[in-house]
Amino acid sequence: MNHSEMKARLARMIVERTFRYRDDPPFTLVSGKQSNFYFNCKPTTLDPEGMNLIGNIIFDMLEDSGISAVGGLTLGADPMANAVAVISYQRNHPIKAFIVRKDAKEHGTGSAIEGNVKEGERVAVLDDVITTGRSTIIAIEKAEEEGLIVDRVITLIDREEENGKENIKQHVKKVESIFTRTDIMSLYEQERETDHEQW
């Protein structure tokens, strides 16, 4: 599969496994806000095919970027970072994975970052979903506190609300999403119309 084909397949997986829509009652988000749609990315990001697709797509986005490692706040970013690390090794251009702890260890080195990364490395912060951008910003701040240079942010899905992308851009200028809510909603509506016509 080429890059476009991989994105198309991943989008279908997200519609099937990750995206949920309902009018009433609405979903309650982490932020406390109510929404008619919800993305639970784990059934996609932890799936073998999903990880393969995500790893390849993000690797393509990072090719020739000089990025040496990818990671983000646990738990959302972990399967994405691991996928990139495995695919990058298979494609002969290793990119390391790292994990940003929510709370630094109280023993040992006390580091907020786990992984074989060192001060001065250029990294990309990953996240599965942008809503307010809060978890992504926490990851950026903790990575920078450890001396990492955060070059860009890549997310699986941008919900396109609550100024999430704009909030992140106050910290890192380059923010890319594989999909937006608009992309997924469009595919969802298309598939729903197809199902209706088949009935």
Q: How far apart, in whole angstroms, are the C-alpha atoms of residue 83 and residue 53?
A: 9
For residue 122, tell me if it sits in a domain.
yes
* pLDDT given for residue 33 in this prediction: 83
For residue 159, tell me if it sits in a domain.
yes
**Amino acid identity at 54:** I
* pLDDT given for residue 199 in this prediction: 46
* pLDDT given for residue 198 in this prediction: 53
Cα–Cα–Cα angle for 82, 114, 121, rounded to 5 degrees: 85
CB 153 within 8 A of CB 140: yes
- Tens of pLDDT along the chain (199 residues) come to 999 999 999 999 999 999 998 888 789 887 788 899 999 999 999 999 999 999 999 999 998 899 999 999 999 999 999 999 999 999 999 999 999 999 876 655 678 999 999 999 999 999 999 999 999 999 999 999 999 999 999 999 999 999 999 999 999 999 999 999 999 999 999 988 776 555 4
For residue 160, tell me if it sits in a domain.
yes
For residue 199, tell me if it sits in a domain.
no
Q: What total number of domains does the chain contain?
A: 1
* pLDDT given for residue 90 in this prediction: 98
Strand partners, 130: 158
pTM, entire model: 0.93
For residue 157, tell me if it sits in a domain.
yes
For residue 155, tell me if it sits in a domain.
yes
Q: Which domain holds residue 81?
A: 3-194
CATH of the domain at 61: 3.40.50.2020
For residue 187, tell me if it sits in a domain.
yes
* Residues contacting residue 3 through CB under 8 Å, at least 6 positions apart: 56, 57, 60
Please provide the distance, in angstroms rounded to a whole number, between the alpha carbons at the two ends of the chain: 32
